[in-house]
Amino acid sequence: MSERLSYKPVLLASLIVSIGQLSMGLVFPSLPWIAKDFNISLDEAQLLISLYLLGFGPSQFIYGPISDALGRRRVLLVGLLLALLGLSLAIFGSQCFGLLLAGRFVQGLGAGCCAVLGRASLRDNYSPEQLPRALSVVTMVASFTPIVAPVFGGLINHHLGWLAVFVSLFSYIALVWLVLYLLFKETISERRSMPKPAKVLSDYGSLIRSRYFQSFAVISWLNFSLVITAVSLMPFVMQNQIGMNSQEYAYWALLPACGLMCGGVLCNRLLPLYGQKRILFMAPWIHLSAGLWLINAPLTPLAMMFGQFLMAMGNGLALPCAQAKVLTPYRQKAGTAAALSGGGQMIFSSLISMTALQLGMHYAWQFGYLIVAVAVIGWLNVRAGFKAAAPGPALNEQSRNEQSSKA
């Protein structure tokens, strides 16, 4: 009989994680209008996304170790205030494209705390048995938000203009900050001194050298790479090759989102019966089915989206379990582990999707071969991960020894 899951930490973590996704998705539809108003190219307008990611990605590696030492709540609230400061700069400096860029970079620096602390706080709140179920909900939010955010961003831009998109984003983050200030309780009982850079690098080095960490982190990175590649490729396939308009595509894009939700629900239901190991071995077979389907399927909207539905369902099964396995052994260093897992996920997935598109991936059948490759590599990593010894206790013991020596 599985333990009953308390949903308050899950809901708060979902709010936290949604901020990073909305900060990109809401702005995407406004880029052509921003380019027109400032009389710049669309490539220059894309800097509003690139500079946000430049702040968002690397800052995760800083927030993780700091939150392990000082606590989640304080670091989270300060990070979100920094994101609000960046949005304020963008809103009040909206007549100057340079200030708009600076504001987006600062917003990214602040929002980087969300990807780390949302998951680290779950590790603090839940037992190893409960953690994958909690992460399955947050994974659905993290993957569903990029799909629906451009729809809302496009509606706001169409009716109120692109500046209203930034105002809406500011209002949402301010509301979340207030909710967290009132409801988010500190999840770390022991505070430590600020880690020195050499110690932070040493901890990251220990993680990246761990075969256990590598195996389960790569599973997450590969699965997320499929999401990023699909978001980049499938609009081109559906609109340019099939001939549907953007509104029609927006409706069809809800089908993969449903696949992700089905995977998340299945993960929650199957975990008490079969455990993480069997589910992680099950996911590559679903991905293999999705890849083979896209390789052979006719070029129709239903066929294309059914392939994505299967892929997303595999992600919904694999991501929560893989992320739980990454975080479980590192209770004293959950922020550091979450930072390396999340930051690596962004870097790895960006490189995979960019490389695939640069090498000429323009068709769904080509994407199918990528999914097949991910399925095979994922299965091998699951096997390697369960064979490897979890190094977490040694790292946690090292942290306790440091505290004892200081005492």
At residue 242, the pLDDT reads: 83
User: Reduced to 3 DSSP states, what percent helix, strand and coil does the chain have, rounded to the nearest 5?
Assistant: 85, 0, 15
* Centroid of chain to Cα 374: 18
271-287 pLDDT, tens digit each = 888 888 899 999 999 99
Q: Quick one: pLDDT band at residue 5, thresholds 50, 70, 90?
A: low
312-351 residues labelled b (16+ CB within 10 A) or e (exposed): bbbbbbbbbbbbbbbbbbbbbbbbbbbbbbbbbbbebbee
At residue 394, the pLDDT reads: 41
Q: What region, left, alpha or beta, does residue 243 occupy, with left being phi > 0 and alpha being psi -120 to 50 degrees?
A: left
Within 10 angstroms of residue 99's Cβ, the number of other Cβ atoms is: 15
Residue 34 parent element (H or E)? helix 31-38
Residue type, 335: G
Instruction: Return d(Cα 59, Cα 100) in angstroms, integer.
Output: 20
Write down the pTM of the prediction: 0.78
6-32 pLDDT, tens digit each = 778 888 888 898 888 788 778 877 877
Residue 407 parent element (H or E)? none
Q: What is the mean pLDDT of residues 315-326?
A: 86
At residue 246, the pLDDT reads: 62
Residue 332 vs residue 288, higher pLDDT: 288
User: Ranked by mean pLDDT, which of 50-64, 165-179, 225-239 comes out on top?
Assistant: 165-179
In degrees, to the nearest 5, what angle opens at C-alpha 382 toward C-alphas 294 and 316?
Answer: 50
